[in-house]
Amino acid sequence: MFLKAKILAFALSGFLGVATSFDIGLSTKCVVIPKEMDMCHKIGYSEMRLPNLMGHTSMAEVILKSTTWQHLVHTNCHPHLRTFLCSLLAPICLDTFIHPCRSMCVAVRESCAPMLTCHGHPWPDTLDCDRFPADEDMCLASLTKENNYLHKVLPKPACQACPAVEEFFTHKRVLEGFCDNNFAVKVKLSKKRTVFGDQEYNIECQVEFITQGSLLLYETQNMIQQWLLINENCTQRMTPTHRPVVYLLVGNIAEGTISVNQVYRWPRRDSQLALATQKWKYHKCL
């Protein structure tokens, strides 16, 4: 799984600077959604209108703007974020433009605006939900109650201050951390520079449970990926070089929120962490 740096410091100006007076009566054409627009693939249609609802007139401009929004999409802050963004960036090729419904905008904003706030960006004015049609009009509907429920019950990573990366500790201190928290996972991180000059982070191996708490196996890698995306400043500290580094992340799930409270660097020959994980099977917390 790959994580791109400068997340959420993306081109908000792409939305903030949109010509809100864009005339949707302007002559448009149908074009195939290009392969570079990964986030708008497998959304139910393969052709889009150009110019789009954001006033972008060239495919190069559309690709650039969609690429910058992929960072937010990767946080999985809302299950309909891709649909919402692609309805504006790559609107379906019909006789008329179909806007997202106001309720969809509100649901996406409530879930994703905190991700922007975490990195010092407000929800864009040009995505003011009041500008979108009410649900009784012809528009892309909001989430079903079932999907909304599932989205709410799954725990979400918190935007938080970075825990210190600990390199000198005893196995007893690590065991105390296990007792004070409800999950611990071992991950390997690395980074590389992309052709665009950004940093790209990679979780190189399957997440290995030390203690599981209430995390489910199939959820964990995605949850850790989201935490690293949302807390990118922490991820940067944990990958000072391009060499892979192994960490033990210890944290809590409380009230539907995931937080990482302790980070231990795990060198290949470290004996204290290995001893702590072995003793944990039989350890009794006070």
Q: What are the structural domain ranges in the chain?
A: 2-153, 156-280
The whole-number average pLDDT for the span 86-101 is: 91
The whole-number average pLDDT for the span 106-116 is: 89
The string of pLDDT tens digits covering residues 116-170 is 888 778 898 888 999 999 887 788 886 554 444 444 456 778 888 899 999 989 9
Q: Which residues contact 70 (CB under 8 A, 6 or more apart)?
A: 4, 38, 39
Pairwise CA distance, residues 190 & 236, whole Å: 10
CATH number corresponding to 2-153: 1.10.2000.10
The string of pLDDT tens digits covering residues 174-208 is 999 999 998 899 888 887 765 445 666 777 666 77
Write out the two tokens for 47: 């052709």
Q: Would you state the pLDDT for residue 13?
A: 36
Q: Is the pLDDT of residue 19 over 50?
A: no
CATH number corresponding to 156-280: 2.40.50
Q: Would you state the pLDDT for residue 73?
A: 87
Pairwise CA distance, residues 59 & 62, whole Å: 5
Angle at 38 between CA 10 and CA 101, to 5 degrees: 75
Q: Is the pLDDT of residue 42 over 50?
A: yes
The string of pLDDT tens digits covering residues 228-271 is 888 888 888 888 887 889 999 999 888 778 899 999 999 888 88
Q: Would you state the pLDDT for residue 116?
A: 84
Torsion from C-alpha of 119, 121, 123, 127, nearest 10 degrees: -120
Arithmetic mean of pLDDT over the chain: 80
Tokens 């528009």 belong to residue = 139
Write out the two tokens for 278: 């072995």
Pairwise CA distance, residues 117 & 99, whole Å: 25
* Alpha-carbon separation of residue 178 from 45, 139, 209, 224, 227 (angstroms): 47, 49, 12, 17, 19
The whole-number average pLDDT for the span 25-39 is: 84
Pairwise CA distance, residues 18 & 15, whole Å: 5
Q: Would you state the pLDDT for residue 66?
A: 87
Write out the two tokens for 148: 């909304």
The whole-number average pLDDT for the span 29-41 is: 91
Largest pairwise CA distance in the chain: 72
Answer whether 0.85 is exceeded by the pTM. Answer: no
Q: Would you state the pLDDT for residue 154?
A: 67
